[in-house]
Structure 1
């Protein structure tokens, strides 16, 4: 019995293992679906689930935390602006792992890991629903009511007379 073993090592040292998870997470965020081995997919899932949970709260501190974990600013931007709002109401389970046939070269078990929701379709629908910046400004300009300014007449101030000493 092997006790207290919580993570897969992938025959790598700590820094290489962290870099592997970071790169897999970046690729999954940018491409929304990747093909990898089952062991890598299973260890990527909890790492990514924690990041998606953090991305639900779009603040500066969250952005800095995600940049420190992922490294790529465009992946962090997509995670905060697109993926986080989609999974806002979901309490967990943002990814799914689909098993594939074994790889021919080394007979490794392969899998596809992807987001449960189709992120690109939902983002495209939201873009269509939002009015453009020009339309927003036109609407705002039309909605402002016209008010008349009431100007009060200023009282004339007489200069003080000089006194002789």
Structure 2
């Protein structure tokens, strides 16, 4: 669990905050999106993403570390069996926080925290006309000497085979005398 911040905790002492965040994480993995206050969502994000990172590892030690935080075997199973394979290609950013306005009763700022389960789309870089032209030409020049060395090696092999045949011809000429 990340280092707790200084100052007041969520709802009381550090033990209560730890249990509160564990329950929020279990609800997030069960429902894949929950509505809570902005403060709780911001405090939940590092814990939830760390547990997903453990689930991506998938070994027994990681499962036991997640079970130490959450405690519900059904939720941990869903995290390891369903959620982790969906985010396997993602390097981080497994959660998204969206602010939704204030709560009616006490005007507390509310937010939705949800799992980002969409597949990762690789961005392709747009070609710049002047800047891209120079680097593209440089690798072409580098490949040309490589081909020349292959040609040189092939010529060396041809010369070696000719040299090997030449002594055979000389020995035949010597034997003929």
Unaligned runs of 5+ in 1: 120-165
Match of 1:6 in 2: 5
Unaligned runs of 5+ in 2: 120-177
* Closer/same/farther in 2, CA of residues 114 and 101 from structure 1, 3 Å limit: same
Equivalences for residues 115-126 of structure 1 within 5 A? 115-117=115-117
Distance in 2 between residues matched to 1:17 and 1:5, nearest whole Å? 9
Structure 1 residue 11: Cα displacement: 4.0
* Closer/same/farther in 2, CA of residues 59 and 97 from structure 1, 3 Å limit: same
Deviation readout 1:82-126 (Å, 9 max, x if unpaired): 11111111110000011112001110000000011169xxxxxxx
Please tell me whether residue 25 in structure 1 is matched to residue 29 in structure 2: no
Distance in 1 between residues matched to 2:12 and 2:21, nearest whole Å? 12
Structure 1 residue 68: Cα displacement: 0.5
**Is contact 2:54-2:63 (8 Å) kept?**
no
Distance in 2 between residues matched to 1:47 and 1:88, nearest whole Å? 18
Equivalences for residues 38-77 of structure 1 within 5 A? 38-77=38-77
Match of 2:94 in 1: 94
Q: What's the secondary structure of 1:111's corresponding residue? A: strand
TM-score (norm: length of structure 2):
0.62
Distance in 2 between residues matched to 1:118 and 1:108, nearest whole Å? 30
Q: What's the secondary structure of 1:101's corresponding residue? A: strand
Task: Write out the 4+ residue segments of structure 1 that deviate beyond 4 Å after TM superposition.
Answer: none
Aligned residues: 116
* Closer/same/farther in 2, CA of residues 5 and 74 from structure 1, 3 Å limit: closer
Structure 1 residue 5: Cα displacement: 7.7
Structure with max Cα Rg: 2
TM-score (norm: length of structure 1):
0.66
Distance in 1 between residues matched to 2:84 and 2:70, nearest whole Å? 15
> RMSD of aligned C-alpha atoms?
1.9
